[in-house]
Copies of this chain bind each other. A is one copy, B any other.
Amino acid sequence: MKKRLDLAAFRDGILSGSRVVLGQAITLVESALDSDQELAAELIQSLMSHTGRAIRIGITGVPGVGKSTFIEAFGKMLLEKEKKVAVLAIDPSSQLTKGSILGDKTRMESLASDKRAFIRPSASGGTLGGVSGKTSEAMLLCEAAGFDVILVETVGVGQSETAVKNMVDYFLLLMLAGAGDELQGIKKGIMEMADALVIHKADGENLPSAKKAKASYQNALHLFPSSPKDWSPKVSLASSLSGLGLEETWREVLRYEYQMKESGFWESNRARQRINWLDEQIHYLLGQAFLRDSKVKQTMDHEMENVRTGILNPGTLAKKLVSLFLSTERPQ
């Protein structure tokens, strides 16, 4: 087995932009070992002053919308503009390669082969709290390694959109033109989170229906209450085949960056996200310690069925378990 790098080697490797060391550092962050966790925390802390300069873009959409092909095409366009691009994914439910962005080796192949790009599949499995904390830290490492644009792809469904929204500057929703997709595929709450709607696969015989969908989404968005940050999301068309809309999508990102930095929202939003991240990680770590406690585990195994059937008041068991947990003596 390979010897693990030490703090200085990790740090120097990342600051010099080594994709290999960056990959190893993210593995360290994802490791469940206490010693790895400690080193990871030290490493990230030592790099904090080199973080925060990238534009963080979240990308979501229903399965089949073509997130990977869009990211590949969009990423390559950014490389042509001399931007270094990192792609991360968040997938709380992922089991092995199922749905993970490198599950299919041919996906993003040409982006992955470029030295100015870095692609990382999602941290495997785990709860949302754990996975989103790891993805946030992977993002900081990418920034320290000099990447200018971080694309965070939501792979899981459900709550992962909120998790990604909470860690990015700009949230892009990919949609498809087509009957009923509006309500059936995507939750309305997701549309309300978006800073931009992009109707993907707007090419060939899809083009006319994509244009129609654009108009109707734009109408729907007008009915939403205006956001406190004073930004009206635009709907645009894009095609990863023809390249339509990729430049326009990027220009919108830059327009957003400019406007939000002017208004102060950019930084206040990041400050809010950091506090939220702290809060989430505290809950996650407390929950982990709680579930590992042997007295808690024993009582839970014993009483859970009584809660389920309504014999035992959930509030009563919660109090009992928490006081058991707090009374556990732990090595200092």
Q: Please give the residue numbers on chain A whose beta carbons come within 8 Å of chain B beta carbons, in ascending order.
A: 37, 41, 44-45, 48-49, 51-52, 133, 136-137, 140, 180, 182-184, 187-189, 192, 220, 223-225, 270-271, 274-275, 277-278, 281-287, 289-290, 304, 307-319, 321-322, 325-327, 329-330, 332
Interface centre among A281, A304, A315 (most CB of B within 10 A): A315
Q: How far is the CB of A305 from chain B (nearest CB, A)?
A: 10
Q: Is the interface of A mostly helix, strand, loop or mixed?
A: helix
Q: Is the CB of B310 within 8 A of A45?
A: no
Q: Is the CB of A41 within 8 A of B180?
A: no
Q: Is the CB of A278 within 8 A of B317?
A: yes
A285 to B315, CA, bound (A): 10
Q: Is the CB of A315 within 8 A of B41?
A: yes
A175 to B326, CA, bound (A): 46
A315 to B311, CA, bound (A): 39
Additional A-B contacts beyond A187-B189, A271-B308, A281-B315 (17; CB < 8 A): A44-B313, A45-B316, A48-B311, A137-B313, A183-B220, A183-B223, A184-B224, A187-B192, A189-B189, A271-B309, A274-B307, A277-B314, A278-B307, A278-B318, A282-B290, A282-B318, A285-B318
